[in-house]
Chain A
Amino acid sequence: MTTSKTISNDVWKKLSKNKKYREEFVTALVKQAFPLQVRTIRKKRRMSQGLLAEEAGVTQGVVSRAEDPNYGNLTFNTALRIVAGFDLAFIPKIVTFKEFMKWVEEVAEGYTDLPSFEKEAGITQAALGKIEEDLEKLRQRASSELGSLTALPPMPERLGSLRGTACNL
């Protein structure tokens, strides 16, 4: 039975062959895994390439190329815009081969959808609406209380009249 550990053990042995193979393998996996993750998240969210393009501020053709494992010329700038279209983050990180193997295992297990920032933070549209409603109530309460405060004479005036009363005493 193949496990992701079996795969990474096998890959590790193959990586040990030579530096050229390691370079080719890292390049090949990075260039294939990113397009696959974009496609998986988009499909899990039932988004069309056009909708993702709109959210990312790019054209549909850019999204199509970003999902093509054979395109090979994807720039950081495009990757960042597409990731932002999902309201997700992106980490370009240099790692050791041991660390890389953990990622190989993740890729072999398949990608799933990831929660956007709002979902992750638990802020749904409904919650945002409730917050706005509460803020409006607070604003109205503060305004009416401030209204009753303005009915009083301003502070220096009151102090003057108190001073007058004190002199009369």
Chain B
Amino acid sequence: MPVWHVVDYVSDEEGNLIRNWCATQDHAVVARFEATLITLAGIEVWDDPELEQFKVLTGPHVGLGEIRFEVEQQVGTKRKKRKFRMLGIWPPPIEREFVMLGGLEKSGRSPTPTNAFELAMKYKADFERDEGRTCDHFEDHFE
């Protein structure tokens, strides 16, 4: 059994936020994201400062944690590293269950979408008011 469960937040207005975000990304980004989730599922302690794939947010974004992954892509003649984050609720509302609220790409100081953090805080508040629902990120297609 995986140590952690990762779930998508499904907003009443927007639907599955994680599926929506993945639909706007290319194959390399989605593949890297899925691979990061699989490796994290087997790690006991996510808030270990030495763990590169996860960071607990502080300051204005306290209450959130971010899954981190990078994708190296060829842009013209150069290899470019693109940095991505998947925001979710931290500490987890249920032990070892990470509720994902939305993804973003970091370029310099501004994220894409620019209001990614504000949106995540809003969806976190919605979740805490019992609005919307969650669904397992890894659906069982065969059973």
Q: Is A25 an interface residue (CB 8 A)?
A: yes
A107 and B5 alpha carbons, distance in the complex (Å)? 14
A108 and B2 alpha carbons, distance in the complex (Å)? 5
Q: Output the nearest chain A residue to B28 by Cβ-Cβ distance.
A: A24
Q: Which of B37-45, B57-65, B105-113, B114-122 is the interface stretch? A: B37-45
Encode B1-44 as 1/0 by CB contact (under 8 A) with A.
11101100000000000000000000110111011101101111
Q: Which of B2, B6, B31, B36 contacts A3 (CB 8 A)?
A: B2
Number of CB contacts from chain A to chain B under 8 A = 106
Q: Is B130 an interface residue (CB 8 A)?
A: no
- Chain A interfacial residues counted at CB < 8 A: 38
Given contacts A21-B31, A28-B31, contact A110 B141 (CB under 8 A): no
Q: Which of B42, B72, B138, B143 contacts A109 (CB 8 A)?
A: B42
In the complex, which residues 98-143 of chain B have their Cβ closer than 8 Å to any Cβ of chain A? 136-143
CB distance from B125 to the nearest CB of A (A): 26
Given contacts A6-B139, A6-B140, A21-B31, contact A32 B2 (CB under 8 A): no
CB distance from B66 to the nearest CB of A (A): 14
Are B50 and A39 interface neighbours, CB within 8 A? yes
- List 21 A-B residue pairs with CB atoms under 8 Å apart, sorted by A's residue number: A2-B1, A2-B41, A2-B136, A4-B1, A7-B41, A9-B140, A10-B139, A12-B141, A14-B34, A21-B31, A24-B27, A39-B50, A40-B43, A68-B52, A69-B39, A69-B69, A70-B52, A70-B70, A107-B39, A108-B42, A109-B42
